[in-house]
Amino acid sequence: MSFEKKFSSKPTEILFSAMSFLHKWKVLLKENQRLKVEASQRLMDWISNFAPNAILVSDVVEI
């Protein structure tokens, strides 16, 4: 997926671009739709604070 003919190297950039478009339209939405956009904003806040784990975690073990 790309915006403005530019491919993203990070998948989170696509989410942030989509959310910025939603926030521009937020004032035109009905109340129940606004609540959904605000809930998605909380999800985006969580994603922006996400830090990948540097330690490789696997459920495969040797016996």
The 10s digit of each residue's pLDDT in 25-39 is 888 888 888 888 888
Burial track 16-33 (b if 16+ CB lie within 10 A, e otherwise): ebebeebeeeeeeeeeee
CA 24 to chain centre: 16
Write the pLDDT tens digit of every residue in 9-30. 777 777 778 878 877 888 888 8
- What's the mean pLDDT in 29-57? 80
**pLDDT cut 70: percent of the chain above it:** 87
Quickly state the pLDDT bin for 5 (edges 50, 70, 90): low
45, containing H or E segment: helix 31-48
Give the per-residue pLDDT at 4: 64
